[in-house]
Structure 1
Amino acid sequence: MSERDARELDRLRAARDLLVERGLLVQKELAGISPSIERSWRRSVSVHASNAPAPPRFIDSIDARNPLVVAAGPVLDRWQDSLSDMRVAVFLSDRSGQIVARRLTDRGDGRRLDRAFATEGFDFSESALGTNGLGTPMEDRAPVFVRGPEHFNDSLESLACAGAPILDPRTGRVVGSIAFAATLKASNPLMLAMAREAAQQVEARLVEMNAPIDLAATAAFLRSRSSKDPVLVLSAETVIADVRALAVMSPDTHALLWDKLQKLEWKEPSNVVELPASSKTADVHRLGGGSVFALELHGRDDDEHAPQDVAARQPVGRAADAAELEAASRVSGIVALAGPPGAGKHYSARDWLISRADGEEPLTLDAAAAPTAGMAGMAELATQAVQAGRSVVVRHIDVLDLPGFRTLEPTLRLVADAARRGSGTREGTPDTRPRIVLTFDDESLGEQVRSRIVALAPISTIPALRRMRDIIPGLVRTIIDEWPEDDRVAVPPAVMQALVGWDWPGNVSELRTTLELLIAQRGGRVLRVDDLPEHLRRQTRSLSTIEALEYDAIVDALRRAGGNRSAAAAALGIGRTTLYRKMHAYGLDREDKPSVAR
């Protein structure tokens, strides 16, 4: 810092301290102070705002459904992405002055800002903290740049913050503010223009979100369509449909369909989408700037008047289809089931085996619980079960080396021989011979063991849950139906949308754990959005195909690096700052995130 700059900071500090000490009658000593800063200082003194470097009030009442939070989310993400090479943080405050969102471009800045309590939940209103880049723009209803000792509170002196108010486009009322903050040394005059532009972007998003379904436009659209095709119009919370279109709609279908619509790319005036759990497709048209969609339904009508409950039209709560597992087992009696941790391999296998054995529970053995020396005893248990006509699931085969797997092979051959002998079973006759299911994480499976498994049976794969969003509503219902009747809860459409929209890095296990926690702490018979964990309430979009591939690559790199982010960034060929930013965007930097270890 130059000597001139240091003198200017000393002058600002002295003027502010003089006003605090002598009160509002001070006049000429404030010559040369920005009018907006002087007005704010005087307001701060008049309401007895604190200038001591003490923690501001902690409110912590963030509502993820607040339209301001929802509208600003994508705007904050875009600015964070565009500022990835600058040490600038972005803040959003609601009308009360509480910080409700923060985006960082450098991990070190997070620690510095935390020390100044510039993080979610703290009160940065002007009445509480004095002049600052979030509270002052709301009081002045105008953008403002607050540098160093222009801040009223000493704890913010090291920062420069440019903020702008966010106005409700319908009423003109201030609903919050957005601000860009950097260290005083790293600040840039362009930050004020950035704040103005960001505020305008949030206001535009509010216009889009607040656009109701225009009944006149909807009626005109319906009149322009062919009468032979069912038509429906929907937004995030509303559906307008003719009688024929009602047959394919349900709360679950709406949640899945809305998720699909959010991921469409609009290069043409219309798009085509497959309806969940239906033989129909739909031509999709955007109304209301993308917040409302009109759909013309096409396809077979043979099931048009049947109940269209999603759970009844797909494998209910299964990550793998029972018919596919049965078909895979016919040749050798063995099913090799691969998938990421928590994908529901054991649950799917157990569910299928119970259904084909008139409710008899299969024997479940866990290779991870037995060292190689103990595999002989486990193999003996498997043999005894098979000889008694009972099916077996052997989990975590990927932990076995070749000698360990060989101890199981006599039992596997026993089942395979029985399957070959019974291959001539008359069609239509139930095949009740026992089956063996081997489950494993395909990425961790040794090549030698893999070759032995492939020689016995083809490997079927259960993908990550985010690749199978269509089964989430049925899966939720199946999990809830397992609970005692007094514990069961209803899942309204808004909650189901949040569940469908999340990417479940912990797969089915994470979903099951989340639902169990919700049932343990719920306050009624119906789940509310407010009951959901913060990361589910905050997420507002699903990953595109490219984003999903990027997500997988990051998770895999972190796993291979043992959680070392520097090593993971090097393996991916990106900088650490970029990795931190992407981890934040995908929810991988949460304290409560599911483990990425496989």
Structure 2
Amino acid sequence: MPDGLPERAGFADLQHSNVPDRLLASWQRSEDYGIPLDAVEPVFTGTDDLSSLFFQCGNEVLADLHRTLANEPVSMMLTDAEGVVLSRLSGDRSLLQALDDVHLAPGFGYAERDVGTNGLGLALADRVPTLVRADQHYSLSLCTFTCAAVPVLDPTSGRLEGSVNLTTWSRSSSDLLLALARSAASNTAALMQARSSGRSARHVPRGQVFRVEVPRLEPGSGTLHSLSDAWNAAVTHAERGMRAGGVVAAVGETGAGRATVLAQAARHLFPRDRILSASAPAPTDVQTWLGLWTPEVGKPHTAVIVRDVDLLPPWVAERLRDLVLRSGAEGSVPFAVTAERFEDIPTALASLVDTVVPVPSLRERPDDAMALAHHIAMRVRGRAVTFTPSAARALSGYDWPGNVGELTRVVGQLAGRMDVIDAKALPPEVLAGNTRHLSRIEAFERGEIVRVLGLDGLTMAEVASELGMSRATLYRKIAQYDIHMERD
């Protein structure tokens, strides 16, 4: 156990103590996710959108609370719905330093899936006010803190916007912590309602800036070893390049799995090493990006993958090249990059590349769709999810223009709320199947026909009526669009 960390009960001990069931459930999920017990590994994503109504109202409420508690050892934070810390206020320097040490700071994600059981992660997962005391945290590195968090819902739409989180030392009194968090969340929602006037509080989607992966098993991790020959050939190609000590570039469409090819190759060759995967930053995050992860380049037992280097400004690419050359990473430890096309990689980095690995898109390996779907569902649900034959046919028959990223979004949303996924639950564009040779209007029409055909209890006459066409036209369209669906 690291110095300075308090001892705490194990999972088995908690199960026999007076601990809320939902806290035990969170511990079980954390264990299933493969979260390490001794340290947290949050993802830094940056704070791209600080203009939302939620952020402005919440920050104003916390600023008022901060003025009241300026001399107290309490940190007040605002997070978005994904658990990314948007702002943090505290007058206690030692507390702030301790929070920095565990990356509980603006720009870092503290969702339960990333760091295990913690106050704000559990509040967002269960959408209820939550207090997590010292030894109730899953990670030992968080056992010096007590955290209270309350989710904030948009007063108009009911959409989850984020949370208010108050954190203090575990040795401090926490009796009023949850009450203060409740009050701040309530005041934030009230202020949002008073100022809404039609303004949207929806956040701009954010991509990960970096993630550190350690060699641990996760639910469903074995699934990806049984993919198509085309995928395995790309992984083998990358392995050969890494084994030779060269810099490898994986190229292909966005979302095809370029970084995953590199990570699997590195994991096969160096099973005990850390894998650090970094993506191109927003212009405002460049200096933070360079400072956060580049000290890792050249470290023993650390493989580095830089994603989307074709998006890097030339001067950043030059900084990165110089860093790789100075650190001796080239040829000693795995260093790899991804891009859509090799010719788009900045010259400074392209000059380092020894092996180029083309990564096939998902539509070029349709047999992988269901293996990936099961893997994605297992990661989201923590257990196996069933796909009906009709859903499997639809998922395998769709051309996935967004590649694995689109598949992850579709399956992840469904697996989060159902144990059996049927074709009826799939989006119309997926039901429409391979529409590359159809116009946008034809693709929409095909999707609508498939959707209505999937509704329970409708006769073909009723399907035709719902679609506003005759039965003869419906049958003609079914033949024209090559639609094959089982009907009860």
TM-score of the superposition, structure 2-length normalised? 0.38
Flag the structure with larger Rg.
1
TM-score of the superposition, structure 1-length normalised? 0.31
